[in-house]
Chains A and B, each alone.
Chain A
Amino acid sequence: MIGTDFDYLRPASVGEALEAASRHEDARFLAGGHALLPEWKLGRTCPPTLIDLSRIAELRGIEVLGSGGQARAGGGAGAVLRIGAMTTSAEIEHSPDIARHAPLLAEAAAVISDPLIRNRATLGGSLAGASPRGDWPPVVLAADATVHMRSRDGERAVPARDFFTRDGAGTGHGSTALRPGELLTSVTVPAADGRARSTYLKRMHPASGHAMIGVAVAAVFDAGGTCRDCRIAVTGTATAAARALHAEAELTGAVLSPASIEAAAQAARGEIAFTGDEFGSAAYLAQVLPVYVSRALSHLATPSSNA
């Protein structure tokens, strides 16, 4: 049960939501509620006002946009997927557009929490909460996504790599670039093309079900098999998801081989710090991270990884 009562508002538009937030001190936006309500039940938070975003149509929907920003079918070079902040993980998991243009997101969605939670938990809520053990942060990092937010001062777009920070008004354990009074409205993801390969590998915490280690990789290879561009992002870290830049550097310009994979895996170990617990100490997670990086990268070498 929830220990404290609160004011509950249900605006019909983003503008109304922002206005409500400005009028109510310490108001929280309610997306899927599957991070906020559990915290509340355990008495760890008690916002005086909740602003339910579920009626705001603008925040829903998955669209394929051309490079000019217009919706169009078929994707193609420069195409971008726009995912509304209130899109649930289940909707992402089962979306044909996402399966086609951003398979990494579909693959990751399928291992988030459980299917019941996925029917409610939203992409926007998960990113704004930026839990160090959440699956979406490393995935949007690896997908080179852009996070869109709006305040009463206007709109901004922040690339994923700048979204997870140590400062900011984030609602979760981690911190984000969201400022007070700002609402995350959508996430855009460049459509993956034929030469892109990606995967998300998660070591599930046996009790909480979250990611003890989550490794998201996305890479583009040229016709000769050389890696042109790669992003390796890791969750389960002490503060927030992060890109393993040194690991990426080992692979960029190289061909995927046991040697280059091992080099990347070991590089990742050096640059990622963990918080551990009874099911895996920080030292253990650091020890085992190279195994997960290595497995994820090896997965890219198999032909089916682009499916």
Chain B
Amino acid sequence: MSAHHVTVTVNGEQRTAEVEARKLLVHLLREDFSVTSAHVGCDTTQCGACTVRLDGHAVKSCTVLAVQADGAAIDTIESLSGSGDAEHPLLSAFRGHHALQCGFCTPGMVMSSLELLQRERNPSEERVRAWLKGNFCRCTGYQNIVDAIRAADGASTAHEAEAAGPGFFGRAVWRREDDRHLRGRARFTDDVRPAVAADASHVALLRSPHAHARIRSVSVDRAVKMPGVVAVVTGADLADSVSPLPTNWVLPGMEVPVHRALADEVTRFQGEAVAAVVAGDAYTAADAARAIEVDYEPLPAVTDPWRAAQPGAALVHPELGSAAQDGNVVFRVPIYAGDYAAAREQAEVVTRQRLRNQNLIPCALEPRSVLADYDDRTGKVTVHSSTQSPHIIKRMLAEVLSFPEDRLRVVAPDVGGGFGSKLHLYPEEVLVTALAIRLRRAVKWTATRSEDFTATNHGRDHVQDVELCATGDGVITGLKATLYANLGAYLSGMAAGIPTANCSLMLTGCYRIPNIHIDTLGVVTNTSRVDTYRGAGRPEATYLIERMVDQLARELSVDPAEIRRRNFIPPEAFPYQSPALFVFDSGNYEHTLDTALGIVGYEALRREQAELRGQGHYRGIGLATYTEFTGLGPGRDNAAVGFAYGGWEYARVLVLPTGRVSVHVGTADHGQGHATSYAQIAADVLGLRPDDIDVAEGDTATVEFGQGTFNSRSMPVGGSAVYECSQKVLAKAKQFAAHALAAAVQDVRYEAGVFTAPKGADDGRPGNVAWDDVARLAHFVPDIPPGLEPGMDERVFYDPKGLTFPFGTYVAVVDVDVTTGDITIDRFLAVDDCGPLINPLIAQGQIHGGIAQGLGQALLEGASYDDHGLLISRDWTTYAFPRAQYIPRLETAHTVTPSPFTCFGIKGIGEAGAIGSPPAIVNAVLDALAPLGVTHLDMPLHAERVLAAIRRATGGHGTAGGAP
């Protein structure tokens, strides 16, 4: 081992360390100097989350050796926050433009753009986007970052929006979450230190390099003997003490394959963990993992869900009772309504297609990380995990490890993006916690990006055979579909529900289609587990129906907007009972469509398109009108579909003696601005300012109950819970106030922090009492009103009254270069309706981010496997993560159609962007190429694929739907 003495100046302070030559600068900063604002997001020198300034230049600290930096001056984002000075304009601009969500990319983004602004005055939008090529963001869609950078240069000081009216609901309040990220004081799981020990022991996992293999033998002898190695465990070691990971969604009659935290006899996907090493540091653990010898016998593998469903396909779980009969198909769910056969027979038009909704890798910028800290004195374990559902993880860990739940605490600290991929129990959470308990110490694991590619759940991955029946006027009479949904090698927490409840029950989209015949097959394959990923089943449904409606329109030569009008569920039909179980709470699709077409100037666009076509220029206009559901969900309904989640959300509102309010909610923010939003809701009910209200989430020791964040439920369900709980507190406060004012409760009025009662002419009663005084009265109780307990502390377990159904119209205008197949997005408009907006800045940010991911799916992304079942797209050099220069300027607007079920009529908006955008883009490209005879394309629309389709069509070979 080499040893080098390194001296650097970090944010103006001289620091020294003894390091190995191989130590990276980012690790020197994070580990030796506790400067954790430099983040590690990848291992291919691409993402820029590690960007710092080195001798005045922005560099990626993950690709500089600590020894190379000897003698240098390093600045990180902390250096921009002087004490007492006015905030640096770049930080203000980021705050004012909502240029950060989860905050993981932010320090690097700021340090990088600092150099741009030093080099150039007034950079153009294009210039800024090109500059950010090496700074990835998954949450924001970049637009607000670009605007912030350009605004910072203009030296304009951003000011928070003034109130349009009374109250904070609906106001673009700046996020309180931003402060810690902009000051470099965020705490992501890998930043967390153990409570007592100086540092945690580190876990490295040995993972199977095969898609499918039998484990003949495992030898850990060499690994165990390496200096610094604390323990090495294999599947066999854990068989008696660690139960398999359960799933939370079991469909009737479905068999659940056994999923062990460490494979013991068979590995079933590339990256499945086979052994775990615990060592004093991460380097030693990794070295030791490489020293473990495993003798694998490779087995045949299958990764495509359609192929895996065919008779004779290689079996992933031959041990299942159902395997003999059904092979890899672990469930078949029929959803039939009306009489499809009759509709088919009577149809004047029948149109068919085979659609693929490709396997996607969620790519949250923060790799997953788990720290389990075992306190030897108390026998309690605190688990920090980059998770979207700490309470569920806690319950499941207790179950899997047979460990008392009350001695377990799970904390989701700052979480750097999730998008559904961090929602479910993972083997690493089980292993790290089990090891901490067994070894009685703090144990930590953080994924590398390459590891994350296979170790973290994937999304989507359907093959869909679809048939649509209609009249000659384009009125749809029937929909038939067979969906082959990849579940991966094991069932993740909600895997069975995504293609069924989330997807198939939404296949009719915005339309009245009375006759449906849908078969959904859940298929196990040798891929990573497939489960929730932004939209979770609704993108797959929306893509299907929006592609088919456009295809029908094209075949009948009907304008795509017009055909939608002919089929929309009309506004008077709401709440609308869908033929497939759900009740759609509210909708006004045509109004939103008209709004979108008005904004974009649809008629003019079509005229322009015709002119351009005449010049040999291929422009396309694509529409997508979506509806989807958010706000899972009423407990009874969840149970009815086999989903073992209570569905409620927990809120507690407590008032401290000083009058300060604490709001606890069981959701789990990972960039969505929950604290800011909940404070706005509570402030309005309680007549206070958001600054008077603290919000806590994510720690099961502070917030005892919760369901986590998924399905865009936090605002409709969590927000409604906060609203109702705040009302309870207000009601009690009024009782105290009434007593203090010697008035009847019904005579007490409350506004802006003051309770008033009508004053008698001469009775000397105080006419008003302030909130803070009421709080004091409630705690010091000089005079307790009869029937009332002291204190003001209420809790609510809010069971949603129904799912909420946001909807919208997206319009994409594209140009296709028919010499290369390249696609340029000329314009992109999203008009969404999620009811009233709590915070327009935050809502817009969610839409931008969702659209960026949707454009990623449509144009760039896709996990592809080779013939051995191994990932070809195994890191960001082979999987195209959307960069700033790939996302066009996004236009957004809203219509407002409230839900009857929630407080203020709010609906969720977190996923809509990823749901509406892929079909809008693909429909636009097909619209552009229609004159050339191209009728079908699969995502991602890589240039070669587009060019090939053009050549086939113009060469006389049309693209046909049907079997592959």
* A interface residues, Cβ below 8 angstroms from B: 1-8, 10, 30, 33-34, 37-38, 41-42, 50, 52, 54, 90, 94, 113-117, 119-120, 206-209, 277-281, 284, 287-288, 291
**Distance between B756 CB and nearest chain A CB, rounded to angstroms:** 60
- Residues in B with CB closer than 8 Å to A206 are 860, 880, 886
- Residues in B with CB closer than 8 Å to A54 are 68
Cβ contacts A to B, 29 pairs, < 8 Å: A1-B22, A6-B2, A6-B22, A8-B2, A8-B21, A30-B68, A33-B65, A33-B68, A38-B43, A90-B57, A94-B119, A113-B134, A114-B131, A114-B133, A115-B115, A115-B131, A115-B133, A116-B59, A116-B134, A116-B135, A206-B886, A207-B860, A207-B881, A209-B46, A209-B883, A278-B942, A284-B947, A288-B943, A291-B820
Q: Do A280 and B283 have beta carbons less than 8 Å apart?
A: no
**Distance between B505 CB and nearest chain A CB, rounded to angstroms:** 34
Judge whether B44 is part of the interface by a CB distance below 8 angstroms: yes
Q: Do A279 and B48 have beta carbons less than 8 Å apart?
A: no
Q: Do A281 and B63 have beta carbons less than 8 Å apart?
A: no
Judge whether B819 is part of the interface by a CB distance below 8 angstroms: yes
Contact of A33 among B43, B63, B876, B942 (CB under 8 A): B63
Given A38-B44, A115-B112, A209-B46, are A2 and B22 neighbors across the interface (CB < 8 Å)?
yes
Q: Do B134 and A120 have beta carbons less than 8 Å apart?
A: no
Given A5-B21, A7-B2, are A116 and B64 neighbors across the interface (CB < 8 Å)?
no
Judge whether B904 is part of the interface by a CB distance below 8 angstroms: no
Q: Shortest 4 CB-CB distances between A and B: which pairs?
A: A114-B134, A8-B21, A206-B880, A114-B133
- Residues in A with CB closer than 8 Å to B51 are 116
Q: Do B43 and A41 have beta carbons less than 8 Å apart?
A: yes
Q: Do B45 and A279 have beta carbons less than 8 Å apart?
A: no
Residue of A nearest to B54 (CB): A119
Q: Do B24 and A1 have beta carbons less than 8 Å apart?
A: yes
Q: Do B880 and A8 have beta carbons less than 8 Å apart?
A: no
Besides A8-B67, A208-B876, 18 new A-B residue pairs in contact (Cβ under 8 A), listed by A number: A1-B286, A2-B22, A3-B290, A5-B21, A8-B4, A10-B67, A37-B45, A38-B43, A42-B43, A114-B135, A119-B54, A120-B60, A207-B860, A207-B881, A209-B46, A209-B134, A280-B944, A291-B820
Q: Do A291 and B879 have beta carbons less than 8 Å apart?
A: no
Secondary structure of the B side of the interface? mixed
**Distance between B369 CB and nearest chain A CB, rounded to angstroms:** 15
- Residues in A with CB closer than 8 Å to B16 are none
Judge whether B282 is part of the interface by a CB distance below 8 angstroms: yes
Q: Do B45 and A117 have beta carbons less than 8 Å apart?
A: yes
- Residues in A with CB closer than 8 Å to B619 are none
Residues facing A in B111-141 (CB within 8 A) are 112, 115-116, 119, 131-135
Residues facing A in B11-43 (CB within 8 A) are 20-22, 24, 27, 43
- Residues in A with CB closer than 8 Å to B872 are 278
Judge whether B640 is part of the interface by a CB distance below 8 angstroms: no
* B interface residues, Cβ below 8 angstroms from A: 1-2, 4, 20-22, 24, 27, 43-46, 48, 51, 54, 57-60, 63-65, 67-68, 112, 115-116, 119, 131-135, 282-283, 286-287, 290, 448, 450, 819-820, 860, 864, 872-873, 875-881, 883, 886, 942-944, 947
- Residues in A with CB closer than 8 Å to B44 are 38, 41-42
**Distance between B135 CB and nearest chain A CB, rounded to angstroms:** 8
**Distance between A221 CB and nearest chain B CB, rounded to angstroms:** 26
- Residues in A with CB closer than 8 Å to B46 are 209
Interface centre among A2, A37, A115, A117 (most CB of B within 10 A): A115
Residue of B nearest to A54 (CB): B68
- Residues in A with CB closer than 8 Å to B876 are 207-208
* Alpha-carbon separation in the docked complex, A206 to B283 (Å): 32
**Distance between A6 CB and nearest chain B CB, rounded to angstroms:** 6
Q: Do B877 and A207 have beta carbons less than 8 Å apart?
A: yes
**Distance between A134 CB and nearest chain B CB, rounded to angstroms:** 14
- Residues in B with CB closer than 8 Å to A10 are 67
Contact of B22 among A4, A94, A279 (CB under 8 A): A4
* Alpha-carbon separation in the docked complex, A280 to B946 (Å): 11
- Residues in A with CB closer than 8 Å to B282 are 1
* Alpha-carbon separation in the docked complex, A4 to B287 (Å): 8
- Residues in A with CB closer than 8 Å to B878 are 207-208, 277-278
* Alpha-carbon separation in the docked complex, A5 to B881 (Å): 31
Q: Do B60 and A115 have beta carbons less than 8 Å apart?
A: no
- Residues in B with CB closer than 8 Å to A209 are 46, 133-134, 883
Q: Do A1 and B880 have beta carbons less than 8 Å apart?
A: no
- Residues in A with CB closer than 8 Å to B65 are 8, 33, 37
Residue of A nearest to B116 (CB): A115
- Residues in B with CB closer than 8 Å to A279 are 880, 942, 944
Q: Do B880 and A119 have beta carbons less than 8 Å apart?
A: no
Given A117-B134, A277-B878, A279-B880, are A5 and B64 neighbors across the interface (CB < 8 Å)?
no
**Distance between A59 CB and nearest chain B CB, rounded to angstroms:** 15
**Distance between B946 CB and nearest chain A CB, rounded to angstroms:** 11
* Alpha-carbon separation in the docked complex, A220 to B371 (Å): 64
Q: Do A38 and B63 have beta carbons less than 8 Å apart?
A: yes
Given A207-B879, A278-B878, A279-B880, are A5 and B68 neighbors across the interface (CB < 8 Å)?
no
Q: Do A3 and B131 have beta carbons less than 8 Å apart?
A: no
Residue of A nearest to B40 (CB): A1
* Alpha-carbon separation in the docked complex, A145 to B58 (Å): 29
**Distance between B20 CB and nearest chain A CB, rounded to angstroms:** 5
Residue of B nearest to A287 (CB): B947
**Distance between B950 CB and nearest chain A CB, rounded to angstroms:** 11
- Residues in B with CB closer than 8 Å to A8 are 2, 4, 21, 65, 67
Q: Do A291 and B59 have beta carbons less than 8 Å apart?
A: no
Residue of B nearest to A33 (CB): B63
- Residues in B with CB closer than 8 Å to A37 are 45, 63, 65
* Alpha-carbon separation in the docked complex, A209 to B45 (Å): 11
**Distance between A89 CB and nearest chain B CB, rounded to angstroms:** 12
**Distance between B2 CB and nearest chain A CB, rounded to angstroms:** 6
- Residues in A with CB closer than 8 Å to B944 are 279-281, 284
* Alpha-carbon separation in the docked complex, A285 to B860 (Å): 17
Interface centre among B45, B67, B115, B873 (most CB of A within 10 A): B45
- Residues in A with CB closer than 8 Å to B886 are 206
- Residues in B with CB closer than 8 Å to A1 are 22, 24, 27, 43, 282-283, 286, 448
- Residues in B with CB closer than 8 Å to A33 are 63-65, 68
- Residues in B with CB closer than 8 Å to A50 are 21
Q: Do A119 and B57 have beta carbons less than 8 Å apart?
A: yes
**Distance between B164 CB and nearest chain A CB, rounded to angstroms:** 40
Q: Do A2 and B68 have beta carbons less than 8 Å apart?
A: no
Residue of A nearest to B50 (CB): A116
- Residues in A with CB closer than 8 Å to B819 are 288, 291
* Alpha-carbon separation in the docked complex, A6 to B20 (Å): 8
* Alpha-carbon separation in the docked complex, A116 to B131 (Å): 9
Residue of A nearest to B287 (CB): A3
Contact of A288 among B2, B820, B881 (CB under 8 A): B820
* Alpha-carbon separation in the docked complex, A277 to B880 (Å): 13
Residue of A nearest to B71 (CB): A55
**Distance between A277 CB and nearest chain B CB, rounded to angstroms:** 7
Residue of B nearest to A279 (CB): B942
* Alpha-carbon separation in the docked complex, A116 to B44 (Å): 14
- Residues in A with CB closer than 8 Å to B860 are 206-207
- Residues in B with CB closer than 8 Å to A42 are 43-44, 450, 875
Q: Do A280 and B134 have beta carbons less than 8 Å apart?
A: no
* Alpha-carbon separation in the docked complex, A80 to B876 (Å): 40
**Distance between A32 CB and nearest chain B CB, rounded to angstroms:** 9
Residue of A nearest to B876 (CB): A207
Residue of A nearest to B56 (CB): A119
Residue of A nearest to B57 (CB): A119
* Alpha-carbon separation in the docked complex, A246 to B119 (Å): 41
Interface centre among A34, A116, A284 (most CB of B within 10 A): A116
Residue of B nearest to A119 (CB): B57
- Residues in B with CB closer than 8 Å to A119 are 54, 57-59
* Alpha-carbon separation in the docked complex, A116 to B879 (Å): 21
* Alpha-carbon separation in the docked complex, A299 to B150 (Å): 30
- Residues in B with CB closer than 8 Å to A116 are 48, 51, 58-60, 112, 134-135
Residue of A nearest to B879 (CB): A207
